[in-house]
Amino acid sequence: AQSVTQLGSHVSVSEGALVLLRCNYSSSVPPYLFWYVQYPNQGLQLLLKYTTGATLVKGINGFEAEFKKSETSFHLTKPSAHMSDAAEYFCAVRYGSSNTGKLIFGQGTTLQVKP
Amino acid sequence: DAGVTQSPTHLIKTRGQHVTLRCSPISGHKSVSWYQQVLGQGPQFIFQYYEKEERGRGNFPDRFSARQFPNYSSELNVNALLLGDSALYLCASSYETAGANVLTFGAGSRLTVL
């Protein structure tokens, strides 16, 4: 079955430290890949997406992600964490064979940023 | 420009009751999708509608139904509510459906079933 795995339900970093949130998907066929962020009591906001082309994708708020086909991964990084980055982060995939807009989400990773 | 709007934002129901949740997409978007987000989990796909026709259905029982109106707004209906239906229900709109199309989410309707 198609699935998305986010390693680590909680990640804690100090302000100014590197943020690394891990995402792996389960298919040999490259899907479309997305990272969303959810702040408390809000909906999901798109951070970035990978479709085709350059494997390093830059998003909003200084985040970027790298698509690695050989590792079936799409990890999210930010060089320097800010207190405002504290939120829930979701990796999601849409497979090209799907004729619907169905996104398959991971379980989410809560990012805590310590002062 | 207004984003995706959902109503109501919060509601409390009792087991066995019926609920209707509403969604207005971004102007110009023809597709609406519904997702259920149980506390501590990622969103799960329920339905997608495009141009008033159902394009996809997730693994949810027949108690869940939806429709899309000519103005592209949508309703999600849930009958015979169970405690396990307590969740945040998210609506997302997009111009088209598949491929690299980006979903824009609303803030959700939080349903509590007692």
Beta B74-78 vs B64-68: how paired, if at all?
antiparallel
Q: Distance between alpha carbon B60 and the CA centroid of its chain, in Å? A: 12
A106 touches A23 (CB < 8 A):
yes
Mean pLDDT across B57-72: 96
Question: Which is nearest to B52 in space by CA: B69, B64, B66?
Answer: B69
pLDDT of residue B78: 98
Q: Are A106 and A24 in contact (CB under 8 A)?
A: no
Statement: residue B44 has pLDDT above 90: yes
- Is the Cβ of A51 closer than 8 Å to some Cβ of chain B? yes
- Beta strand pairing status for B19-24 and A56-58? unpaired
Q: Provide the terminal-to-terminal Cα distance of chain B, rounded to the nearest Å.
A: 37
| Chain A residue with the nearest C-alpha to that of B95 | A101
Q: Which stretch of DSSP H or E encloses residue A6?
A: none
Cβ atoms within 10 A of the Cβ of B41, count?
14
Q: Give the per-residue pLDDT at B91.
A: 97
Is pLDDT above 60 for B82? yes
Q: Min CA distance, B77 vs chain A (Å)?
A: 19
Mean confidence (pLDDT) of chain B: 94
pLDDT > 90 in chain B, percent:
85
A46 touches chain B (CB under 8 A): yes
Q: CA torsion B72→B29→A98→A44, rounded to 10°?
A: -100
Ranges of chain A with pLDDT below 50 = none
Amino acid at B83: L
Contact A32/B55, CB-based, under 8 Å?
Answer: no
Question: CA of A15, closest CA in chain B: separation in Å?
Answer: 24
> Where do runs of H (alpha helix) occur along chain A?
none
Enter the tokens of residue A51: 């479709």
Detail the DSSP E strand segments found in A39-72: 44-50, 56-58, 64-68
| CB–CB contact B103 A104 (8 Å) | no
pLDDT at B3 (0 to 100): 92
Min Cα distance A28 → chain B (Å) is 17
Residue A28 DSSP symbol: S
Can you name the residues that pair with B31 across neighbouring β-strands?
B50, B94
Tokens of B78: 């849930």
CA distance A15 to A3: 32
Cβ-defined contact of A43 to B55 (cutoff 8 Å): no
Does residue B21 belong to the interface with chain A, where contact is any CB pair within 8 Å?
no
According to DSSP, the residues that pair with B92 across neighbouring strands are B33, B105
**Cβ within 8 Å, pair A41-B107:** yes
What pLDDT score was predicted for residue A40?
A: 87
- Residues A25, B24: Cα–Cα separation, whole Å: 31
Q: Is A104 on the interface with B (CB under 8 A)?
A: yes
Residue B59: closest CA among chain A residues belongs to which residue?
A: A102
Compute the 3-state secondary structure of chain B and give helix, strand, coil in percent, each to the nearest 5.
Answer: 5, 50, 45
Question: In 3-state terms, what secondary structure has residue B37?
Answer: strand
Residue A31: per-residue pLDDT: 81
Q: B108 vs chain A: nearest CA distance in angstroms?
A: 6
